[in-house]
Amino acid sequence: MTSTTSEDDLTLAIDKALPDIRAAYVEAGDAWQPHDYVPWDDGRNYAFLGGEDFAPADVKVHPVVAHGLVLGLLTKDHLPSFHRLLAQHHLIDSDWGKFVGHWTAEENRHAIALRDHVVVSRTFDVEQLEAWRLEAVTRGYRQYEGTRDELHVAEQIAMVMTHEALSADYFDRLADFAEKAEGTPAGLVTTLRKIAADDRVQLQYWVELFTVALDVNEGHAKDALLGQARVVSAIGAETAEGLDESRRIVVDAEIATAERDRELINVLLARWGLAL
DSSP assignment of 19-50: HHHHHHHHHHS----GGGGS-GGG----GGGT
pLDDT, tens digit, 9 for 90 and up, residues 166-225: 999 999 999 999 999 999 999 999 999 999 999 999 999 999 999 999 999 999 999 999
Note whether 63 and 126 are within 8 A (CB).
no
- pLDDT value of residue 75: 93
pTM of the predicted model, to two decimals? 0.94
**So what's the pLDDT on residue 239?**
83
Contact 233, 243 (CB under 8 A): no
pLDDT of residue 251: 97
The ranges of the chain with pLDDT < 50 are 1
The pLDDT, as a whole number, for residue 73 is 96
**CB within 8 Å of 116: residues ≥ 6 apart:** 34, 35, 38
For residue 97, the model assigns a pLDDT of 86
Determine the pLDDT at residue 1.
44
pLDDT in tens, 23-43: 999 999 999 999 999 999 999
* Alpha-carbon gap, residue 163 to 240, rounded angstroms: 18
For 212, phi then psi, to 5°, come to -65, -45
Q: Where are the alpha helices (DSSP H) in the chain?
A: 4-28, 63-76, 79-86, 95-121, 126-139, 153-180, 188-216, 218-231, 244-252, 258-270
For residue 149, give the DSSP letter. G
Mean pLDDT of the chain: 91
